[in-house]
């Protein structure tokens, strides 16, 4: 039996890796991109293969068109036609007020989180669209609760980029709804991954969890469950939706 092919951008750690593991367990072959941690990528490939999946790790920069096209062309050759896409690659940028941000820092966040997301979706649509001889499929973007919270004094540029992802989700869903493609997003809240340490706040979960109505941070696995539902045929009449996974925040 042929397994459907799923692609996860930024899949070697955190929410992306949790998605890859769950996809493999649920019957998908999985390809993911990673930036630089070859050991983590190789370890995850071995895990996915152990779960019965064909698995592929592609080192590629998801903020650059050449990296994105390289990922999808490699998947075409090695695994076949993609029908599920998780656009996960993203960065918060350094925690700081807007007055302290450099143009380079802002451009890095927007380049990966917005331009990179649009280009990844473009490659997915080109392969999935029934107007282009594809078989249809499903795309899920990673947004964030930051899009409506605004993240003042932390990363307003990141929040703005996720607001753009919400608009992308809604617009693209309408554009490709009659081409056999569903497009949705999840909006995680305070999730326990290393993204906080990378932003310069390794204690952020412990510091902020009391303001979450549920009183705790979430896990990457909890976010992955929502993503897998949106990707699946169980969500066959769901498109253009943004699913908060934020503990009520």
Q: Verify whether residue 158 is a known catalytic residue.
A: yes
**Bridge partners, residue 178, by sequence:** none
Distance CA 230, CA 208 (A): 28
Bridge-based pairing of strands 29-34 and 5-8 is: parallel
Closest CA to 202 of 211, 212, 194: 194
Q: H or E element: which one contains 220?
A: helix 220-231
For residue 145, with 0-12 CB atoms within 10 Å meaning exposed, 13-18 middle and 19 or more buried, which class applies?
A: buried
Catalytic residue among 28, 34, 158, 237: 158
Query: Could you tell me how far CA 107 lies from the centroid of its own chain?
Result: 19
Known catalytic residues are 158
């Amino acid at each position: 039996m042929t397994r459907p092919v799923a692609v996860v951008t930024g899949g070697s750690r955190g929410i992306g890796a949790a998605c890859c593991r769950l996809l493999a367990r649920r019957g998908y072959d999985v390809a993911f991109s990673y930036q630089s941690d070859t050991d983590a990528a190789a370890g995850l490939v071995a895990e996915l293969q152990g779960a019965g999946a064909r698995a592929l790790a592609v080192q590629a920069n998801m903020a650059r068109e050449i990296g994105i096209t390289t990922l999808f062309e490699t998947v075409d050759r090695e695994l076949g036609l993609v029908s599920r896409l998780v656009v996960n690659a993203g960065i918060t940028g350094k925690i700081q007020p807007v007055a302290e941000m450099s143009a380079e820092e802002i451009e890095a966040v927007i380049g990966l989180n917005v331009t990179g997301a649009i280009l990844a979706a473009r490659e997915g649509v080109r392969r999935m669209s029934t107007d282009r001889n594809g078989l249809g499929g499903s795309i899920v973007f990673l947004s964030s609760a930051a899009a409506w919270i605004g993240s003042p004094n932390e990363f307003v540029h990141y929040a703005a980029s996720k607001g753009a992802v919400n608009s992308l989700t809604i617009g693209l869903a309408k554009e490709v709804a009659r081409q056999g493609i569903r497009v949705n997003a999840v909006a995680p809240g305070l999730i326990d991954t290393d993204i906080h340490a990378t932003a310069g706040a390794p204690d952020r979960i412990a510091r902020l969890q009391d303001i979450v109505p549920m009183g705790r941070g979430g896990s990457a696995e909890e976010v992955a469950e929502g993503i897998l539902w949106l990707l699946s045929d169980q969500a066959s009449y769901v498109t253009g939706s943004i699913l908060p996974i934020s503990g009520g925040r």
